[in-house]
């Protein structure tokens, strides 16, 4: 058995062995490192330029990257760029800008361990811009082109965002998540925020490192709960076994992640219908090969949110509030088109960008769903399936059953962004 004196002595001796004669040269070495980071960014932007020219022919993109100091307060295409931006209570700081030429700007964003926001502005009088690129699942348009809107790029993702302006030249600003977090439950750098999609946090816990079983008592106070849970640092092949209210609820594969999500509330999870007062205590166990996982590095975290509506099925009431792409949306219109052969609902006018949500329960029948003039998707909705897309006022959501028979249960809901 050793003692603490021995430990201190070992640490001191080893530390003293470090050769620090390079200290005077460190600034130069660090600035070389900083220059290398900038070169990587320029290379990425130059790649975007080449791709844009090849694909678009006439497009030209001029990347403008940060100066020798960290990003300065700046103006881009004549519009002041905010130093920080907020998404769902999390603060993001400005890290990069790209100015376009002509009516187009292209951002090539390398994958990162951190969540980022991409925002934009234009120099023109008409603020309308269209977003596309492989980081934008389906192109969408907005009239907010003064760095007041953004799209969220989750940690781990990388790719291209293209901004095309109706008039003038667009510029793009990139923001990175900071350590500032919203109110809620925070432990070990993990935050379950207090508010989620119109609901609120009932209970949350972040387990001790190595703790593979979590018990979290809670009582429902509304029509549904959302259980958000994740595991990091454990085996990649582990199963997550979830009991709700003392009953088996879900067993999911997929294993543990290698990074902590910035905002666990926004990542997946499962919704359950509840009655007020019902026991919704959660028990989570991480298992592998039929036995409990033992791993000192593994951390399991669980949050239980009360929902203001439980509505995965189209017959139920539509949720009054949703989250999509790092933003909050409020219900403005519901079109119930059940039992029709086909549906064509128009997004309401005069509300800027609109989030259209199609919820259907069509059994095994196939349906075609089209948002505006984007490519359609063909799905089998089963008991309940949902698709979301940001659309413009007046754009149509079209649903048609393959074969021309009645659709079954279908609901189209429209939401406006809460600013």
What whole-number distance in Å separates Cα of residue 381 and Cα of residue 358? 11
What whole-number distance in Å separates Cα of residue 310 and Cα of residue 16? 61
65 touches other proteins (CB under 8 A): no
Taking CB under 8 A as the criterion, the residue among 69, 125, 349, 373 binding other proteins is 69
Taking CB under 8 A as the criterion, the residue among 189, 254, 348, 352 binding other proteins is 189
Contacting other proteins within 247-266 (CB under 8 A): 258-259
What is the per-residue binding string for other proteins in 221-250, x denoting contact by CB under 8 A?
Answer: ------------x-----------------
CA atoms within 13 Å, Cβ hemisphere of 383: 4
Pick the closest to residue 410 from 331, 339, 348 (CA basis).
Answer: 339
Q: Provide the 10 A C-beta neighbour count for residue 367.
A: 24
208 touches other proteins (CB under 8 A): yes
The DSSP secondary-structure symbol of 23 reads G
Q: Provide the 10 A C-beta neighbour count for residue 415.
A: 28
Cα dihedral: 293, 112, 148, 397 (round 10): -70
Strands 396-401 and 170-177: unpaired
Tell me the H-state helices in 184-326. Answer: none
| Residue 163 or 238 having the CB closest to other proteins | 238
Taking CB under 8 A as the criterion, the residue among 60, 95, 313, 379 binding other proteins is 95
| Residue 93 or 243 having the CB closest to other proteins | 93
Q: How far is the CB of 312 from other proteins (least distance, A)?
A: 35
Burial class (CB in 10 A: 0-12, 13-18, 19+), 255: middle
Q: How far is the CB of 269 from other proteins (least distance, A)?
A: 23
111 touches other proteins (CB under 8 A): no
| Residue 70 or 253 having the CB closest to other proteins | 70
Taking CB under 8 A as the criterion, the residue among 30, 55, 111, 366 binding other proteins is 30
Pick the closest to residue 306 from 408, 412, 200 (CA basis).
Answer: 200
26 touches other proteins (CB under 8 A): yes
158 touches other proteins (CB under 8 A): no
| Residue 296 or 383 having the CB closest to other proteins | 296
Q: Select from 29-37, 149-157, 216-224, 322-330 the region that touches other proteins (CB under 8 A).
A: 29-37
10 touches other proteins (CB under 8 A): yes
CB 162 within 8 A of CB 105: yes
Residues pairing with 176 in the sheet: 93, 116
Q: What is the largest CA-CA distance in the chain?
A: 81
296 touches other proteins (CB under 8 A): yes
Residues lying near other proteins in the complex (CB under 8 A):
1-20, 22-24, 26-27, 29-30, 33-34, 37, 66, 68-72, 93, 95, 113, 179, 187-189, 208-210, 233, 258-259, 296-297
């Amino acid at each position: 058995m050793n003692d603490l004196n021995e430990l201190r002595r070992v640490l001191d001796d080893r530390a003293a062995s470090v050769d620090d004669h390079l200290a005077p040269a460190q600034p130069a070495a660090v600035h070389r490192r900083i220059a290398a980071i900038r070169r990587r960014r320029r290379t990425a932007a130059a790649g975007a330029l080449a791709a844009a020219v090849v694909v678009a022919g006439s497009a030209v993109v001029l990347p403008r990257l940060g100066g020798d100091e960290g990003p300065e307060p700046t103006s881009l295409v004549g519009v002041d760029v905010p130093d920080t931006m907020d998404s769902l209570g999390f603060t993001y700081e400005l890290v990069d800008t790209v100015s376009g030429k002509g009516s187009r700007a292209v951002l090539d964003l390398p994958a990162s361990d951190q969540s980022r926001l991409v925002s934009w502005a234009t120099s023109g009088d008409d603020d309308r811009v269209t977003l596309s690129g492989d980081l934008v699942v389906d192109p969408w348009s907005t009239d907010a082109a003064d760095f007041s809107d953004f799209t969220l790029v989750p940690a781990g993702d990388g790719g291209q965002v293209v901004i095309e302006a109706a008039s003038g030249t667009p510029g793009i600003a990139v923001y990175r998540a900071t350590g500032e977090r919203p109110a809620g439950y925070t432990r070990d750098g993990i935050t379950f925020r207090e508010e989620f999609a119109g609901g609120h946090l009932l209970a949350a816990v972040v387990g001790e490192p190595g703790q593979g079983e979590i018990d979290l008592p809670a009582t429902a106070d509304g029509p549904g709960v959302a259980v958000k849970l994740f595991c990091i640092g454990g085996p990649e092949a582990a199963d997550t076994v979830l009991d709700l209210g003392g009953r088996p609820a879900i067993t999911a594969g997929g294993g543990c992640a290698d990074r902590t999500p910035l905002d666990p509330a926004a990542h997946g999870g499962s919704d359950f219908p509840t009655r007020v007062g019902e026991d919704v205590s959660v028990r989570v166990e991480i298992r592998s090969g039929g036995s409990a996982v033992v791993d000192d590095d593994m951390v399991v975290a669980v949050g239980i949110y009360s929902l203001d509506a439980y509505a995965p099925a189209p017959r139920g009431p539509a949720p009054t509030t949703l989250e999509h792409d790092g933003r909050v949306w409020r219900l403005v219109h519901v079109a119930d088109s059940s039992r029709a052969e086909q549906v064509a609902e128009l997004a309401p006018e005069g509300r800027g960008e609109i989030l259209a949500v199609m919820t259907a329960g069509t059994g095994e029948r196939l349906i075609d769903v089209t948002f505006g003039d984007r490519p359609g998707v063909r799905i089998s909705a089963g008991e309940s399936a949902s698709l979301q897309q940001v659309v413009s006022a007046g754009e149509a959501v079209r649903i048609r059953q393959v074969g021309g028979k009645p659709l079954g249960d279908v609901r189209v809901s429209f939401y406006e962004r809460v600013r």
